[in-house]
């Protein structure tokens, strides 16, 4: 049977000719380069003579040096790829860490200088270092803890090293492009940030690298808002870390206001809109924005009270403690007391920021004997600092506060100072108070404070307090906890001596695990 | 039905209700999940350096001043029933303070670890269960 030739057979010669024409310039160029390479050493040897000391009169031309300047030797091409340079930086970082851990300061410093020099080379060679870092970061295997690379110390350190270096590259690249962005050409900078936001959800490594680069940094702008909102949606679906999404949104709002892309009134209007929404990140960002504006602070408090959501209130209390001026934060916490009767976390943060403000607030409330729960939190906040002021307030509370629960908080603060004399005195004083000694619930708190005394290693103090507690009306769970403390802290022959009467059977406390 | 006993029954019911309502706080136990809160960032939290003419701020080692762990617990909340929140146990709120192991101003801060100090109890929370209010005994 005869067949006509297929179309591809008839057109094949034409395709071959076209391919040859297309590659001919490339081939000719390669041939020219090859000839140049072969003849270059001869040329340079004839035009760049060996250095010779020549005495010449001023103004006389030095032919050898001029010829060398006109025909410089070809620069050595660094064959290392971007990935190789990153690997090398990681290796230097590991060496620096090892030297630092051996307290070889000079060696660690020298190694660190080597890393800085290599980092500068990397940034100079690659003007798209940021994009390359993103590409490499998104292809990193999972961390050892996630079942990726083998779970050993060396692999974990190498993985961490890569994340650190890639973050440094991204941070440096963003800063470098900020210079040109400041001159009005933002596209390259904004484009890099968009690329970072795109790869953020890819893996835990990209979340870490990208979020460190963007959060609390000036790189996010109004143009990135759609992507940030997209990450919020992913967080709502459980596909992206909620805390990272919230911090990115807060950073975005800070930046758009700081750089004049939106006014505070614009953001306040948006915040008011988002306040009643369902997205937790939007709600947190909205609350924070409104809290920072004195005009809307009362509105936030009213909204929180109306909503009655303790979790949101606790989150807002934390934000206030971290970011508001201390007096404003204290006032807000006081306003939230009906909804949030106890907020030790917020007071602990505020205590580290402004212990004097908490001390003044405690003295004022003590003088008027009001708000015992807030007094307890204030004692926690300032008492847990290692300052002399913290010690003063804790002792003042233990000796003078009319509320036994405030005195118990003072006991925690004093026993946590790891001073056995101070700790034992505080515990003894608390047990002298019949409102504490006769209340199994308050005695259970004393047992928990005794765990702080246990860490001082003072066996005698532990024994004295333990004996006294054993003779009191402890609940079953507290008695078990106390037995565990004494068994750990005391010699075996002493721990089991002098068990007191059993506690009130009506309490029925379940067993508590030891610490 | 003998209607003469109705006022007696009503009085008894009213008395019973008032006896229960008098001391009953009308609360219930509501559970709260565990939580972890970080304190302000500490010394390891980052460095600024110049490399190749670029000034970069690095926040690569986040070392909080302290971390507070609150275990799962219960709180008493308002209820429209004749119940109260009965405390069954106390659990500690623990704080762990952190320090930077070494302070090296190095560009790749491997080995700069946050070292945990001793764990301390800073307060307590309660475990509770909801129980019906007992009728007051005469």
| pLDDT at A448 (0 to 100) | 96
Instruction: Please tell me the distance from the alpha carbon of residue B96 to that of residue B117, in angstroms, as a whole number.
Output: 6
Query: Is the CB of B122 less than 8 angstroms away from the CB of A119?
Result: no
Residue B87 Cα distances to A198, A321, A445, A475, angstroms? 50, 30, 13, 11
Strands (E), A260-351: none
Residue at A92 is within a domain: yes
Residue at A30 is within a domain: no
Secondary structure percentages of chain B, helix, strand, coil, to 5: 15, 50, 35
Q: Calculate what percentage of chain B has a pLDDT beyond 70.
A: 60
Instruction: Please tell me the distance from the alpha carbon of residue A29 to that of residue A27, in angstroms, as a whole number.
Output: 5
Residue at A318 is within a domain: no
Query: Is the CB of B122 less than 8 angstroms away from the CB of A318?
Result: no
User: Strand, coil or helix: what is A261?
Assistant: coil
Nearest CA-CA partner of B26 in B126, B130, B137, B135: B130
Nearest CA-CA partner of A209 in A218, A196, A221: A196
Residue at B100 is within a domain: yes
Query: Is the CB of B40 less than 8 angstroms away from the CB of A352?
Result: yes
- Secondary structure letter of residue A424 according to DSSP: H
Per CB-CB distance under 8 Å, the chain B contacts of A165 are: 108
Per CB-CB distance under 8 Å, the chain A contacts of B52 are: 119-120, 123-124, 172
Query: Is the CB of B122 less than 8 angstroms away from the CB of A413?
Result: yes
CA A20 and chain centroid, separation = 58
Rounded to the nearest angstrom, the minimum Cα separation between B89 and chain A is: 5
Contact of A374 with A350, CB cutoff 8 Å? no
pLDDT band at A444 (very low <50, low <70, confident <90, very high): very high
Contact of A210 with A199, CB cutoff 8 Å? yes
pTM for this one? 0.71
Per CB-CB distance under 8 Å, the chain A contacts of B112 are: 97
Query: If you compute the radius of gyration of chain A from its CA atoms, what whole number of angstroms results?
Result: 35
Residue of B nearest to A173 (CA): B54
| pLDDT at A58 (0 to 100) | 38
Instruction: Please tell me the distance from the alpha carbon of residue A414 to that of residue A396, in angstroms, as a whole number.
Output: 11
| pLDDT at B127 (0 to 100) | 93
- Tell me: pLDDT of A440 over 90: yes
pLDDT in tens, A287-345: 888 988 888 988 888 888 888 888 788 888 988 898 888 999 999 999 888 888 888 88
- Tell me: pLDDT of A275 over 50: yes
Residue A163 Cα distances to A55, A56, B86, B127, angstroms? 57, 58, 50, 42
Minimal Cβ distance to A344: which of B56, B93, B108? B93
For A355-382, the three-class secondary structure string (H helix, E strand, C coil) is HHHHHHHHHHHHHHCCCHHHHHHHHHHH
Residue at A251 is within a domain: no
| pLDDT at B33 (0 to 100) | 86
Mutation for A interface: B121, B125, B131, most A CBs within 10 A: B121
Rounded to the nearest angstrom, the minimum Cα separation between B24 and chain A is: 18
Instruction: Please tell me the distance from the alpha carbon of residue A196 to that of residue A466, in angstroms, as a whole number.
Output: 58
Indicate if ipTM > 0.85: no
| Domain C-terminal end among A193, A213, A233 | A213
Residue at B137 is within a domain: no
Residue A251 Cα distances to A78, A213, A218, A220, A228, angstroms? 39, 11, 8, 7, 10
- Tell me: pLDDT of A9 over 70: no
Contact of A382 with A355, CB cutoff 8 Å? yes
Structural domain boundaries, residue A432? 418-515
Residue at B14 is within a domain: yes
The number of folded domains in chain A is 2
Residue of A nearest to B69 (CA): A345
Query: Is the CB of B70 less than 8 angstroms away from the CB of A171?
Result: no
More confident call, A45 vs A470: A470
| pLDDT at A206 (0 to 100) | 93
Angle, alpha carbons B69-B73-B79 (nearest 5°): 145
Long-range contacts of A501-508 (CB under 8 A, 24+ apart): A501/A471, A501/A473, A502/A476, A503/A440, A503/A473, A503/A474, A503/A475, A503/A476, A503/A478, A503/A479, A504/A440, A504/A473, A504/A475, A505/A476, A507/A440, A507/A475, A507/A476, A507/B88, A508/A475, A508/A476, A508/B88
Rounded to the nearest angstrom, the minimum Cα separation between B125 and chain A is: 9
- Tell me: pLDDT of A246 over 50: yes
Residue A244 Cα distances to A171, A228, B128, angstroms? 17, 10, 34
More confident call, B46 vs A489: A489
Per-residue pLDDT in tens (0 to 9) along chain B, 138 residues? 567 767 666 666 555 555 555 689 999 999 988 888 888 776 565 556 666 566 666 655 567 788 889 899 998 888 999 999 999 889 999 998 887 766 566 677 776 667 778 789 999 999 999 999 987 643
Minimal Cβ distance to A123: which of B35, B49, B52? B52
Query: Is the CB of A112 less than 8 angstroms away from the CB of B104?
Result: yes
Mutation for B interface: A85, A86, A112, most B CBs within 10 A: A112
Per CB-CB distance under 8 Å, the chain A contacts of B65 are: 352
User: Strand, coil or helix: what is A285?
Assistant: helix
pLDDT band at A19 (very low <50, low <70, confident <90, very high): low
A424: CB partners within 8 A, 6+ apart: A453, A458, A461, A464, A465
Structural domain boundaries, residue B119? 5-132
- Residue for token pair 């990272």: A244
Residue at B98 is within a domain: yes
Mutation for A interface: B122, B127, B129, B134, most A CBs within 10 A: B122
- Tell me: pLDDT of A242 over 50: yes
Strand partners, B124: B92
CA B86 and chain centroid, separation = 17
pLDDT in tens, A493-507: 565 544 444 433 333
Rounded to the nearest angstrom, the minimum Cα separation between A453 and chain B is: 9
Per CB-CB distance under 8 Å, the chain A contacts of B126 are: 441
CA B58 and chain centroid, separation = 34
Give, rounded to a whole angstrom, the gap between the first and last alpha carbons of chain B: 31
Q: What's the average model confidence in pLDDT over A69-91?
A: 81
A432: CB partners within 8 A, 6+ apart: none
Q: How many CB atoms lie within 10 A of CB A49?
A: 12
| pLDDT at A172 (0 to 100) | 92
CA B6 and chain centroid, separation = 50
Per CB-CB distance under 8 Å, the chain B contacts of A478 are: 90
- Tell me: pLDDT of A401 over 90: yes
Q: Calculate what percentage of chain A has a pLDDT beyond 70.
A: 79
Mutation for B interface: A104, A155, A164, most B CBs within 10 A: A164
Bridge-based pairing state of the strands B73-78 and B83-100: unpaired
Side-chain half-sphere CA neighbours of A144 within 13 A: 12
| pLDDT at A354 (0 to 100) | 93
Side-chain half-sphere CA neighbours of B134 within 13 A: 4
| pLDDT at A497 (0 to 100) | 44
- Tell me: pLDDT of A413 over 80: yes
Instruction: Please tell me the distance from the alpha carbon of residue A513 to that of residue B94, in angstroms, as a whole number.
Output: 14
Q: What's the average model confidence in pLDDT over A1-6?
A: 51
Instruction: Please tell me the distance from the alpha carbon of residue A93 to that of residue A88, in angstroms, as a whole number.
Output: 9
Per CB-CB distance under 8 Å, the chain B contacts of A414 are: none
Strand partners, A498: none
Residue positions counted in chain A? 515
Per CB-CB distance under 8 Å, the chain A contacts of B119 are: 455, 515
Contact of A98 with A153, CB cutoff 8 Å? no
Rounded to the nearest angstrom, the minimum Cα separation between B28 and chain A is: 16
A387: CB partners within 8 A, 6+ apart: A355
| Domain C-terminal end among A213, A228, A263 | A213
Give, rounded to a whole angstrom, the gap between the first and last alpha carbons of chain A: 92
The number of folded domains in chain B is 1
Q: What's the average model confidence in pLDDT over A165-175?
A: 93
Per CB-CB distance under 8 Å, the chain B contacts of A97 are: 106, 108, 110-112
pLDDT band at A28 (very low <50, low <70, confident <90, very high): low
H helix or E strand, kind and range, residue B123: strand B114-132
Nearest CA-CA partner of B96 in B71, B66, B65, B62: B66
Instruction: Please tell me the distance from the alpha carbon of residue A344 to that of residue A423, in angstroms, as a whole number.
Output: 21
Query: Is the CB of B121 less than 8 angstroms away from the CB of A92?
Result: no
pLDDT in tens, A361-396: 999 999 999 999 999 999 999 999 989 999 999 999
| Domain C-terminal end among A164, A197, A213 | A213
The angle, 0 to 180 degrees and rounded to 10, between the axes of the packed helices A344-353 and A355-368 is 120
């Amino acid at each position: 049977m005869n067949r006509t030739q297929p179309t591809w057979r008839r057109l094949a010669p034409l395709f071959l000719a076209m391919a040859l024409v297309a590659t001919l310039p490339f081939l000719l160029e390669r041939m020219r380069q090859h000839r140049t390479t072969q003849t270059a050493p001869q040329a340079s040897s004839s035009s760049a003579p060996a250095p010779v000391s020549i005495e010449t009169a001023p103004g006389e031309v030095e032919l050898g040096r001029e010829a060398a300047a006109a025909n410089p030797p070809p620069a050595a091409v660094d064959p290392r790829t971007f990935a190789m340079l990153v690997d090398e930086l990681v290796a230097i970082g590991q060496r620096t860490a090892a030297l630092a851990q051996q307290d070889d300061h000079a060696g660690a410093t020298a190694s660190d200088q080597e890393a800085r020099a290599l980092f500068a080379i990397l940034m100079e060679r690659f003007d798209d270092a940021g994009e390359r870092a993103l590409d490499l970061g998104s292809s990193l295997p999972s961390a050892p803890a996630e079942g990726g690379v083998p779970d050993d110390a060396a692999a974990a350190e190498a993985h961490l090293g890569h994340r650190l270096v890639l973050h440094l590259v991204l941070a440096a690249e963003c800063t470098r492009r900020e210079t040109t962005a400041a001159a009005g050409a933002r596209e390259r900078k904004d484009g890099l940030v968009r690329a970072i936001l795109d790869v953020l959800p890819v893996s835990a490594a990209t979340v870490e690298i990208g979020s460190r680069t963007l959060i609390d940094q000036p790189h996010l702008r109004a143009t990135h808002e759609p992507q940030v909102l997209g990450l919020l949606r992913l967080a709502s679906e459980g596909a992206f870390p909620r805390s990272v999404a919230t911090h990115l949104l807060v950073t975005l709002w800070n930046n758009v206001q700081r750089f004049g892309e939106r006014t505070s009134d614009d953001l306040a209007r948006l915040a008011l809109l988002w306040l009643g929404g369902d997205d937790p990140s939007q709600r947190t960002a909205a609350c924070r924005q409104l809290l920072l504006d004195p005009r809307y602070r009362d509105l936030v408090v009213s909204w929180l009270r109306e909503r009655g959501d303790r979790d949101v209130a606790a989150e807002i209390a934390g934000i206030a403690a971290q970011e508001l001026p201390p007096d404003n934060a204290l006032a807000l916490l006081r306003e939230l007391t009906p909804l949030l009767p106890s907020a030790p976390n917020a007071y602990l943060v505020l205590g580290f920021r402004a212990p004097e403000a908490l001390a003044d607030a405690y003295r004022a409330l003590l003088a008027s004997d009001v708000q015992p729960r807030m007094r307890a939190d204030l004692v926690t906040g300032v008492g847990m600092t290692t300052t002399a002021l913290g010690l003063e307030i804790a002792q003042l509370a233990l000796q003078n506060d009319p509320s036994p629960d405030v005195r118990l908080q003072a006991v925690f603060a004093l026993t946590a100072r790891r001073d056995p004399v101070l700790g034992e005195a505080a515990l003894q004083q608390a047990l002298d108070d019949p409102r504490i000694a006769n209340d199994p619930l308050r005695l259970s708190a004393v047992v928990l404070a005794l765990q702080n005394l246990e860490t001082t290693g003072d066996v005698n103090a532990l024994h004295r307090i333990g004996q006294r507690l054993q003779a009191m009306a402890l609940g079953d769970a507290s008695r078990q906890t106390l037995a565990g403390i004494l068994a750990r802290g005391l010699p075996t022959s002493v721990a089991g001596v002098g068990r007191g009467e059993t506690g009130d059977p009506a309490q029925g406390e379940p067993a508590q695990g030891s610490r | 039905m003998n209607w003469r006993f109705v006022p007696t029954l009503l009085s008894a019911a009213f008395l019973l209700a008032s006896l229960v309502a008098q001391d009953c706080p009308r609360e219930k136990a509501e559970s709260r999940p565990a939580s972890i809160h970080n304190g302000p960032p500490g010394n390891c939290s980052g460095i600024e350096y110049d490399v190749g003419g670029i000034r970069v701020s690095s926040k690569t080692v986040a070392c909080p001043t302290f971390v507070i762990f609150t275990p799962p617990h219960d709180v008493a909340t308002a209820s429209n029933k004749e119940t109260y929140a009965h405390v069954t146990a106390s659990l500690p709120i623990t704080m762990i303070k952190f320090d930077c192991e070494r302070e090296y101003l190095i560009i790749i801060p491997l080995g700069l670890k946050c070292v945990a100090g001793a764990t301390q109890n800073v307060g307590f929370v309660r475990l509770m269960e909801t129980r019906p209010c007992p009728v007051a005994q005469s």
